[in-house]
Chain A
């Protein structure tokens, strides 16, 4: 299978990084060859892109018997990686101290050798097999990336807290740049190169190599990498891969972010993640639109601004009406009837399958009532990863699935998902039951799952906006209303951006007299809360009645 072959090459590379039973004398040979190459690379006679030096060097590799078998080539790469990395550690321990940046001259020395090694890899990849033989080149690249990753993982394990990111960071980014230079041979394998780098970055994700987390974030947010992944590769082929890397990042950070007690290093990583999200919001908002569901699934509930950045994205060709326009009628917007794209199979996340079957049967027959009480216990599965007693992913999937089924149902009756059309249905039974029967924690997670769909004008935004307001209006206790208000408000009192649908929903809640918002006691529970509401109301251009 051609699509799994590169992957297996990478994994065999990772495995081979642990093999140390080299034939006698190979290390010495590799050492001498690498030294020679570094020397040749820096000679003026090396020619443009070292091509002249390379053809001479390949001769020497032949003479030394390195190119005889694939196994020897692999070992050669492994030894060169180890030697390049060891050289960096040696120079660093001679000249640097733990907390001081490395002197420029030392860094230059490191880079001169690492860059030479990278050029050698790039040239060997480019010239392996015939010019037209793409498979050989791609396989070799995957093999080498696997070897470097394998050497790194082993180094990370053995050196523990004295692990250094620098040599690996340099090798990966420089090799990526080399393989993306404008040359025909390389352009033919561009997509495969991208896949190879995606795979190796995914393998080295921060939860696997936390000591590499900062360099890893630099790698995945590098301008050329983002450009290739999201802009240049046609048909958005790179988008699922890039989304996966962002999920890797969020998932790694979740346990540290959810506790609000951030170490300096986590804070720095968090700021980096915010920057990447801002770049996405500005340059590739459609990526955030298409994958918002998957991202919200892994971002902890308390990371409000992070989630707002994801939810504020909207397709670039869309013009959003100002939510503060008086008498804005959401039903009048064209876009409100279109379902948003969602690249994740959320229905498949509703597990176990017997639960999904019962759910579908309830949606169809609005019976048996016992389903509603069983639903609660199914959702109550402790999730220590996110620090909750509920299965957040299952809740998210359930809410979106029921919501989109409700929308289909309403459209099939030629109605639009407004306050009256959404009421009295199996779908609303489920939502009302969740609002009433869950405890505070469960309800918080449930309401958040709903609020995650208050985004740009689309059918989901319209439905969930109406549904939240309906739950508020029909609530049998003030606690539910207080919690709905809390979920909306806490997303509004943070810095911008704020999702359009969130503003629309909140403005409707405080402006429309039928909700009797200002008569609730939680609005007046404390002077600072009251002031807060007044200032939010003022900014929503509506005076308190």
Chain B
């Protein structure tokens, strides 16, 4: 067995809505639908790395740092498919510890479907001889939750989704993963190579330090096209319209517990 080669796919998305109660002011970045009702407004909106992808980078870097895989980690490759600005999230990934990056560039506003991304990733896995792919469990824009499973299916590899704990067996073959399932957790054991998708509880991602951000600027981003990887990015789903959900009208406040009980009875809730 040789050292692990890890691939971490990352996605640039509208910034995870920030809420803070530090100041009693709740800052909420709420996605807005555009006037034509064709998509969510993205121009001029803050973007950052999909939060689940930060977990997958953190986990990969920890596997290297903690030497939890017996034969070590030889390469951590960050990957993204997206517009030119997606290079920012690759820089972040490299500042967190990825060694180098691959960028399949698309035009601004082009949404690439999970099946296409999975096909791109399959090509990269084969080209780079990757043995472990760690992805986020879903992206917070499309909320599809498909790419990791699709990739595992295309490669015929084992998969462990919504991972909250990953450990390696001493022989460097078996990977034991605790997964979040409905009602609790489930533990499975798989043979490498495999695909793991990260759930929120997998770890606490680090912040990139300034020296590491500077170092990341020297790390390499290789640009490659979908054609070179032999993948057609044609879409299967056509978005007919995007609307905002009907707003919920708050019903106002009551003065005391009796008022609450009376109102709940009036609404038929109790």
Is chain B a partner of chain A in the same complex? Answer: no
The residues of A with any CB-CB pair to B shorter than 8 Å are none
